[in-house]
Amino acid sequence: MSGNLNLKNVSDVAAKDIIDLQNKIEAMKNGTMDGERFRHFRLTRGVYGQRQKDVQMFRTKIPFGKLTTAQLTRLADVSEKYTNGNLHLTTRQNVQLHHIKLEDTPGVWTELSEVGVTARGACGNTVRNITASAVAGVDPDELFDVSPYVQATYEYFLRNAISQDMGRKIKPAFSSSDKDSAYTYFHDFGFIPRINEAGERGFKVLVAGGLGAQSIVAQVAYEFLHEDKIIPFMESSVRIFDRHGEREKRHKARMKYLVKKLGLEGFMELVEAEMKALPYQTYKINREGVPVGTPVAADKKAPTDKVVNQEKYDAWLGANVFEQKQKGFYGVNLRLALGDIDAERARKFAALVKEYAADDIRVTVNQGFSLRFVRKEHLPHLFNQLDALKLGEPGFDTIMDITACPGTDTCALGVTNSTGLTTVLEEMLRTEYSHLVNERNIKIKISGCMNSCGQHMAANIGLHGSSIKRGTLVYPAMQVVIGGGVDETGKGFVADRVIKTPTKQIPDVIRTLLSDYEDNGGEFQYFNDYYQQQGKKYFYDLLKGLAKVDDLGAEHLQDWGEVTDYVQDIGVGECAGVSLDLVSTIVNDAKERIELAKEELAKPNYAFCIYNSYTSFIIGAKALLLSADVKCNTHSGIITDFDKNYVETGKFKLEGFDTFADLVYQIQGNEPKADFAKKYLAQAEAFFAQVVATREQQVREGAVDTDKLVVDQFYKA
């Protein structure tokens, strides 16, 4: 199957991923792999189904958003070759390509792998991309550069056996300072730099935050955790999440719900108990693992120092440019409308960066770019060139710079058009509120649905897609949320849902809120302080007139950018896998884990061998439980229920162990060394053989329906 791919410039591990994807595509097409099972597989390889039929979104995984000019150029070239020539920057500091044919995805991945860009773990139930402050390394407020820590964490969990098939995704973030520009407060793991009294580096650690339908602020796990302990802590926590986290009810399957259920203290006790099983009790980070950037030569001259548009340049300097902690050098931040840049502009931009900045572009969490090590004398020429590329708009990370997900443009879960509304609002702000070009105390973020890909719940003013019914009429609408974001001390807030209004009324919603704040909020520098002072009821009353639909004209039945009346069309999202399994197929999954364990033992990678053996136990037990109509929604629940339904009833004999729990939980009490890895694998093989024998006996005796499909939409053991 790999004959048509040129993999000679691709690493062995990347080549294996790509060949595996191509083979699975062929298996799905010829019917030897179930379509739903293939969906789960491709998601963990960055291939995500779009709203449009027969095309995919391809998501790259770019730790802390760091791109070289060569990587950006290759992304541009690939986007033109395989799709519509557009690059979309996300709030996770990734780059997405849309409208790609499924059969082209191995080719896309191959060409990107040649420049060190992967898609492994970009979607699906994995440890997702690890985000960080885009100014890390040059931030005047930072204690130290977090970039090497992000890179080390990314490398550790990429393809790690413990995080390839969890109940839901894990999202970590590293902030460069207490200002929390990485929004660690709503992540599964958040890290903020600390230096203790002994001069040692470490991190304040936050856990179990999240946005979405039920947003929760992360809790403090450690005020100081030594730098060598952060990866072991994360690995132990992910193991606990994998074992105890919900898997059936997708809306309850994030770490925030597990910690809420167990309590932070109970969760941390389990994490501590798991530490013995880890391959590393400490994991030293190479502090020099990510070079901070190389400035252009001091004697390099720019073609001109004259500015084409002085007024715009002055606004750009004030809002988009900052002096780095490396004195004499400047960071430059760029706004991208909707986070989109076409291939031609991307290539020209990359060439410009190579000439006048360090070869180190950072994708920002608000869908822009950040440059570093620009010399002061080069700023005028750089601005002229950026402006010519439509990349010179002032107002980066201000009220002018609206964050928005693609919404109904490409996402099956989109309810209303977030991009069309964003374009309208940014134009309104530019023309009517130009004096707010430096206003950083009000951020606007928009999502096409409640899932918060646009991070609306972390906005001072947030909006998410919805609808309003009046009789037989359905109006496209936006839920207005207020009061989210990060204050000047770094404290994070989740927004309140205030009111729902037709989407065509949203420009007036924004006008009303801004006028009220300018008229009455003078004593409050931060918008959220004014919101807290006035209260939710005040803002509901302020906006309720705009929520009425009784007297609206026909144009309000149309979403932004549409010429026909709105029809709500919500598809099936792919934020996590969906499975439709035959029990026999699940048994085969257990066998695959045995084979993976053998491969890891041969390397040798004892920790991965042990974890794949553990997962084989779980999947094998799950197969027999599902054949008996026993619900399976957590690993720990499977272990308990297998003892109850099979071991205690005498249907399944365990050699040398009284309970299945005793057998499986050996993983907790043993260090990942050769002797235990070999023994545990042998026990997993023996257990699997008995699972197969038990299943065959059930079939012979007619005790099970062999044609029965086991439908468990959100569970993957």
pLDDT tens-digit readout, 389-406: 999 999 999 999 999 998
Least confident among 257-266, 321-330, 410-419: 410-419
Q: How far apart are CA 612 and CA 594, in angstroms?
A: 7
Q: How far apart are CA 60 and CA 120, in angstroms?
A: 8
The candidate with the shortest Cα–Cα distance to 267, out of 240, 246, 299, is: 240
Average pLDDT, the chain: 92
The predicted pLDDT at position 632 comes to: 87
The predicted pLDDT at position 2 comes to: 42
Helix residue ranges, H only, 193-254: 230-244
The predicted pLDDT at position 579 comes to: 37
Whole-model pTM? 0.92
Check whether 711 has a pLDDT greater than 50. no
CB 464 within 8 A of CB 456: yes
Q: How far apart are CA 346 and CA 536, in angstroms?
A: 43
Q: How far apart are CA 56 and CA 591, in angstroms?
A: 30
Cβ contacts of 158 within 8 Å, gap of 6 or more? 61, 118, 120, 121
- 614-673 pLDDT, tens digit per residue, is 999 999 999 999 888 888 889 999 999 999 999 999 999 999 999 999 999 999 989 999
Cβ contacts of 506 within 8 Å, gap of 6 or more? 421, 425, 463, 478, 480
CB 489 within 8 A of CB 468: no
Mean pLDDT of 179-192: 96
Which H helix or E strand runs over 532?
helix 527-534
Q: How far apart are CA 442 and CA 203, in angstroms?
A: 28
- CATH topology classification for 139-277: Sulfite Reductase Hemoprotein; domain 1 (3.30.413)
CB 345 within 8 A of CB 375: no
Check whether 495 has a pLDDT greater than 90. yes
Check whether 52 has a pLDDT greater than 70. yes
Per-domain residue ranges of the chain: 2-113, 139-277, 310-388, 403-557, 579-712
Architecture field, domain 2-113: Alpha-Beta Complex (3.90)
Residue 71 DSSP class: H
CB 560 within 8 A of CB 504: yes
The class of domain 579-712 in CATH terms is mainly alpha
Percentage above 90 pLDDT, the chain? 78
In this structure, the chain runs to a length of 717
β-pair partners for 567: none
The predicted pLDDT at position 713 comes to: 38
Mean pLDDT of 93-102: 96
Mean pLDDT of 200-223: 95
CATH of domain 310-388: 3.30.70.3340
Mean pLDDT of 568-597: 70
pLDDT band at 457 (very low <50, low <70, confident <90, very high): very high
Return the higher-pLDDT residue of 268 and 3: 268
pLDDT band at 563 (very low <50, low <70, confident <90, very high): confident
- 272-310 pLDDT, tens digit per residue, is 999 999 999 999 999 999 988 889 998 999 888 899 999
Check whether 339 has a pLDDT greater than 70. yes
Check whether 715 has a pLDDT greater than 60. no
The predicted pLDDT at position 569 comes to: 65
pLDDT band at 578 (very low <50, low <70, confident <90, very high): very low
Domains 139-277 and 310-388 share a fold: no
Mean pLDDT of 212-240: 96
Of 3.40.50.300, 3.30.413.10, 3.90.25.10, 2.40.30.10, the CATH number of 403-557 is 3.30.413.10
Check whether 488 has a pLDDT greater than 80. yes
The predicted pLDDT at position 570 comes to: 55
